[in-house]
Structure 1
Amino acid sequence: MPDSDISFVSSGRPSLDYHFASMSDGDAPRLSTGSDFDTRSTGSSYSGNRSLDLSFQESCRLSSSSQNLVTEDMEAEMRRLRQELKQTMEMYSSACKEALSAKQQARELHRWRMEEEQRLEEARMSEEQALALVEKEKAKCKAALEAAEAAEKIAQFEAQKRRAAELRAIQDAEERKKAGNGLSHGGGADIRYRRYEIEEIESATKDFANNLKIGEGGYGPVYRAHLDHTPVAIKVLRPDAAQGRSQFQQEVEVLCCIRHPNMVLLLGACPEYGCLVYEYMANGSLEDRLFRRGNTPPLSWQLRFRIAAEIATGLLFLHQTKPEPLVHRDLKPGNILLDRNFVSKISDVGLARLVPPSVADSVTQYRMTSTAGTFCYIDPEYQQTGMLGVKSDIYSLGVMLLQIITAKPPMGLTHHVQRAIDKGTFEDMLDPTVPDWPVEEALRFARLALQCAELRRKDRPDLGNEVLPELNRLRMLADDVSPAGSSPLNSQSSQDVFSDLQSGYDSSRSRSSTSSYGGRR
């Protein structure tokens, strides 16, 4: 610590260092050389100087002691001040740290509070959403219960309607059966067809000569003959034919009551022996012509489009019969016959069923005890459930339409055509014997046929509103393209060839499960 000036302790007296500066060197004070003292004066001065020297020493000692005390006090005070300053600095540092810690805690507390508020808000919103979801689920549950109740009521109502329709159908069937029994015993006075005696049938067929037989099926043989100077086809019931009598009655009941250009014409019958007399169809079946049996020329695409429209027209006529729609149940190329002008006509209605109008219009289907028809053409839903409807024929029509443009067997045909369309190779599926297919129109034809052949009945188009208008459009296109007066295979020589090749009726059906005029095996 630097030395301090303590002259203030001398109570205003001048410093002794100034007066006795020469004494620090041990020299005696000089007297003026100009003074003359005597011996007494010298002795007295010496005595006074000594006393003065002692006082000075004492004073110096006291002054030094006092200075040391002051210095120590100051040093102690400085140490105390330093200690206090150190403590103050430590307290300040501690206070700063505490302040920083408190500030950090305040920030943490604020952040925690904000997070808590956010969590509370999220929890509140989640609760509101949960409540809204619960309300929504309650509403859904209520709606589902109401829908289930409504569906149950509708199902009960439909079941009642179906039971009533089935009951009416049973009653109608019994009435028709009674009428058929009266017919078989010659009591049918209101039947609109000609009755032939068995002698007339035997004479026309030359006692059922084999050279006049043009086909045979499960129902029995078919003969070509002439009655009343008119070429006819006579289908004869075989005695051991399964369900032959019921099919005979059904075909008589249906064909004697309807007349349409695209339905084969029933000319007469011999009910005692189960003989049916039809108009003769010179160009045989559509199946024979598509597969060119007997090496016959191929059908042109114009003729195929026209035949398709005619088939749909005849089928719509069956579905619109009054008072009850008629379902064919066995529609296929073998049951489509072609006359000398290649006009197509639907035949073989032995499996046809009258569906009550309430069923056809409201319930849309009618349960049968057993399915009937030809494999590959039977409606899958009808085959699985026995539920019959007018759209059961639409499936068969779809498969047949695909055969008309491809001339291929029905097995898996819908799958092959759909795959070819997807792969862009549809043109390869068309009948190669026709060189000038309008591919775009044929593709539209195929798409329509695939819609008709949908597995689910509800996915199939309506015959009158969707299918027939498109087929009529294609027929008009074919008529516009065809040269006037030209028709494939329309010469008389061709007709004679077909007649000699057993082209009518059952030549092809003998190789399938059912036949056109020949029934089923």
Structure 2
Amino acid sequence: MGDGALIVAVAIKGNNSKTKGVVRWALQQFASQEHVVFKLLHVQPRDSHSVSSTRSNSNTTTVYKKDVDRKTREMLIPSRDMFAHREVELDIMVLESDDVADAISKAVQDHGISELVIGASSSIIFSWKLKRSNLSSRITDVTPRFCTVHVISKGKLLNVRKSDVDIETSIADERSESQFSSSSHSGSVNSTSSHQFSSAPLLFQRIQALSTVNQKVGTKMGTKKDIDTHHNRAASLDVDDTKMLNQKGFYRTNSSGIGYGGGSEIHSRRSSLTDEGSSSSCYSDPTSSSSQVNKDFELEKLKIELRHIKGMYAVAQSEVMDASKKMQDLNQRRSEEATRLKNLTIREEDAEEVVEMERERQEEAENEAELVRECVEREIEDRLEAEARAEDVRKEKQRLEDALEGGPLQRQQYMKFEWEEIVEATSSFSDELKIGMGGYGSVYRCNLHHTTVAVKVLHSDKSSLTKQFHQELEILSKIRHPHLLLLLGACPERGSLIYEYMHNGSLEERLMKRRPNADAPQPPLRWFERFRIAWEIASALYFLHTNEPRPIVHRDLKPANILLDRNNVSKIGDVGLSKMVNLDPSHASTVFNETGPVGTFFYIDPEYQRTGVVTPESDIYAFGIILLQLVTARSAMGLAHSVEKALRDQTGKFTEILDKTAGDWPVKEAKEMVMLGLRCSEMRKRERPDLGKEILPILERLKEVAYNARNMFAETLNDRHHHAPSHFYCPITKDVMENPCVAADGYTYEKRAIKEWLQKNHKSPVTDLPFPNDSLLPNHSLLSAIKEWRSHLIK
């Protein structure tokens, strides 16, 4: 910004038509001037969120601040584009203050702003001078006096508060004009004649000229008496004329000096006085000199008349030229208006044709919509009939199966424990055995039936959690999956659940290193283990979402609810908030919560949080956040935004967000997992990938990459020098299993070996009892344990 530049500030409040009017007026008024700089002022309230930031995480304040700055920039874009269109220099100043007037006044003082343009509501136009409590008047009052303030309403100037410089300039102009008028009347007759003829009105020039001629005539007279008489008449004329001039319309103004009115009366009086003086001169001096004086007087009188006529002709000619120019402008405007009217008529006709076409199209669309609605109704009726028939068939099939098998199957597939057993095993719920505590109750580690288990006991005063208890009991007693926490038993009378014990705690504790009470320090999870865990979680979710007859949505998926066994095999637990939903669009497949969405903040689906509608895509959102945490080992708050920012950066910041404790990440595969996590955590559920068609294939490929990398060095070692646990060996082949499967007798065998056994024998090789059936189930947990054991050989 150079010295001497005109600084114009435009204060705006928001993005609306009033703001555009203020900006448009400022550009029209000042943009055409040279050396002008515009400043766009916007005052936003101080961040009230920062008051509570001392008690919360600083990242929350940062995210909130960035969100406010983003909204402010978006609001200023239209005004900024208007300045950019005029190609003027612009500075945008966003001020933070609770007092708008004080903030603008300080900005004017600090930056030396010469012109300030502000907006005013149209409702205060008539009360501008009556009520001075509105914001515009307050800004006008507190703005420094060296700045001129323009108040704009509806794109027009409502009020101007001039600066001290403008006021002093105006006073100086008025004084100079007053001095000029005074000097014009106080000069000599000759100087008055020569100066006043160029600026004063023609009638006044004529009166002055007549006075001059009368003085000349008095000078040439012979006797003193005549001279005195003539001077007395001239003085009388001047005095009377002066009075008449003051009474008949002469006035002084600041701009043009002297105006006039009623000149005919003054002229007639001056003529009569002149004729009277001339006759008296003739009678007093009969000589030839008197005749010569009369001729000179008449000649001078004619010259004055001629000068007056020329002036009137010039004025008339100027008026004619102005009138002609106005006529040409009017004709041009009339031609333009006629052309515009013609164009409007053509556009109106075109619009009527378009409206008619749209009306016809609307009628056709309504007819088609009616036909489609009828078809849909018929299809719904047919589908309902088909569903009713299918339900009848299912019930009949179930009845036949129950009749063949001797009655309905036992629904509760879990072991019941007595309350006294649980109290004794936990040493009356000793604090030394407590391994977890939450709003639902406490978790204890103990031994029941010679097995280490985890017992979850609800609080005695938490009767509202009974529904969650029965929900978790009902779901876990009916389904089994290698990566779902295994329910061993329950004590329904006291609200207690018994699970298998997970030695390595939760995934959150391992990622965030928050397990100080562990039996031994645990090494961080390596990157290939995290790829495997991601696949295990996805496979368990797919099992829940494809459950029959209705899918199961977990609704509280987070690292704290993903547990790890001694071999870091992951299992999803805490399904107390799970919900069975109906995905049939003809049924009410949505669940609306009376107390708001359930779950954990930062993992709740935004669409579910906004609408209360729970769908399987709600778990996909939480799974996406977990994928990002597996790669970064960071908190979930604002994680998606920071990861996406690092991913877009071209200076290598992506590798900085990777958890260094996981080892040397393969950058390509890590980036692929991060991009998958960002897609899963999209705000809208329809933009998230499908779990079975997109997510699982990608994670399956990443798991194979991790498996190959882990076994790359294990192949060079001699496994025979290391003794594996006994349950890793197949009872048939006596070797460590490669593909373990669980047979109908409850024992695990090598898949190839047990298939060959079943082809020749129908009894168990361990119990020597007949197999109930030939079904084989993959033992993923044991397979993961075997792979983990082999991975330790490379240490």
TM-score using structure 1 length: 0.60
Tell me the equivalent position of 1:218.
439
Aligned-partner residue type, residue 468 of structure 1: L
User: Tell me, what secondary structure is at the counterpart of 2:494?
Assistant: coil
CA shift, 1:155, in A, is 11
CA shift, 1:356, in A, is 2.0
Structure 2 residue 534 is the aligned partner of structure 1 residue 282: no
Aligned with residue 427 of structure 2, among 190, 202, 206 = 206
CA 205–151 in structure 1, closer or farther in 2 if over 3 Å, else same: farther
Aligned-partner residue type, residue 461 of structure 2: D
Structure 2 residue 645 is the aligned partner of structure 1 residue 419: yes
Aligned-partner residue type, residue 577 of structure 2: L
Tell me the equivalent position of 1:21.
none
Does the 8 A contact of 1:283 with 1:339 survive in 2?
yes
User: Tell me, what secondary structure is at the counterpart of 1:433?
Assistant: helix
CA shift, 1:190, in A, is 3.1
Does the 8 A contact of 1:403 with 1:409 survive in 2?
yes
CA shift, 1:138, in A, is 3.4
Does the 8 A contact of 1:237 with 1:275 survive in 2?
yes
CA shift, 1:232, in A, is 0.4
Tell me the equivalent position of 1:52.
none
Structure 2 residue 464 is the aligned partner of structure 1 residue 238: no
Distance 1:252 1:449 in 2: 31
CA shift, 1:363, in A, is 7.3
Query: What are the residue-to-residue correspondences of 1:87-106 with 2, within 5 Å?
Result: none
Tell me the equivalent position of 1:248.
469
Tell me the equivalent position of 1:444.
672
Aligned with residue 338 of structure 1, among 532, 556, 564 = 564
Does the 8 A contact of 2:643 with 2:657 survive in 1?
yes
Aligned with residue 434 of structure 1, among 653, 658, 662 = 662
CA 378–124 in structure 1, closer or farther in 2 if over 3 Å, else same: closer
Tell me the equivalent position of 1:269.
490
Aligned with residue 406 of structure 1, among 610, 624, 632 = 632
Aligned with residue 474 of structure 1, among 676, 687, 702 = 702
Aligned-partner residue type, residue 451 of structure 1: R
CA shift, 1:321, in A, is 0.9
CA shift, 1:151, in A, is 9.5
Query: What are the residue-to-residue correspondences of 1:51-62 with 2, within 5 Å?
Result: none
After superposition, the C-alpha distances for 1:15-48 in whole angstroms (9 at most, x for unaligned) are xxxxxxxxxxxxxxxxxxxxxxxxxxxxxxxxxx
Structure 2 residue 545 is the aligned partner of structure 1 residue 314: no
Distance 2:483 2:569 in 1: 7
Aligned with residue 618 of structure 2, among 382, 392, 396 = 392
Distance 1:158 1:450 in 2: 39
CA 201–419 in structure 1, closer or farther in 2 if over 3 Å, else same: same
CA shift, 1:485, in A, is 9.2
Gap regions ≥5 residues in structure 2: 1-342, 382-408, 715-722, 725-795
Distance 1:408 1:306 in 2: 19
Aligned with residue 138 of structure 1, among 359, 363, 377 = 359
CA 467–206 in structure 1, closer or farther in 2 if over 3 Å, else same: same
Aligned-partner residue type, residue 471 of structure 1: L
Distance 1:124 1:391 in 2: 55
Tell me the equivalent position of 1:191.
412
User: Tell me, what secondary structure is at the counterpart of 1:348?
Assistant: coil
Does the 8 A contact of 2:562 with 2:570 survive in 1?
yes
User: Tell me, what secondary structure is at the counterpart of 1:288?
Assistant: helix
After superposition, the C-alpha distances for 1:197-240 in whole angstroms (9 at most, x for unaligned) are 01111121122111111111111111111111111000111111
CA shift, 1:432, in A, is 2.1
Aligned with residue 260 of structure 1, among 481, 493, 496 = 481
Question: Aligned residues: percent identity?
Answer: 49
Gap regions ≥5 residues in structure 1: 1-121, 161-187, 493-521
Does the 8 A contact of 1:158 with 1:363 survive in 2?
no
Distance 1:146 1:451 in 2: 40
Q: Over the residues paired in the alignment, what is the CA RMSD in angstroms?
A: 3.5
Tell me the equivalent position of 1:367.
592
Distance 1:416 1:288 in 2: 22
After superposition, the C-alpha distances for 1:331-390 in whole angstroms (9 at most, x for unaligned) are 00000001111111000000001112425x987744343310000000111111101111
Query: What are the residue-to-residue correspondences of 1:54-133 with 2, within 5 Å?
Result: 133=354
User: Tell me, what secondary structure is at the counterpart of 1:358?
Assistant: coil
Aligned-partner residue type, residue 412 of structure 2: I
After superposition, the C-alpha distances for 1:372-416 in whole angstroms (9 at most, x for unaligned) are 000000011111110111111111111111111110000111111
CA 273–127 in structure 1, closer or farther in 2 if over 3 Å, else same: closer
Aligned-partner residue type, residue 372 of structure 1: V
Distance 1:159 1:221 in 2: 49
CA 130–213 in structure 1, closer or farther in 2 if over 3 Å, else same: closer
Distance 1:198 1:127 in 2: 86
User: Tell me, what secondary structure is at the counterpart of 1:467?
Assistant: helix
Distance 1:398 1:241 in 2: 32
CA 132–438 in structure 1, closer or farther in 2 if over 3 Å, else same: farther
Structure 2 residue 688 is the aligned partner of structure 1 residue 460: yes
Does the 8 A contact of 2:581 with 2:589 survive in 1?
no
Distance 2:364 2:617 in 1: 33
Does the 8 A contact of 1:323 with 1:357 survive in 2?
no
Distance 1:157 1:458 in 2: 28
CA 392–289 in structure 1, closer or farther in 2 if over 3 Å, else same: same
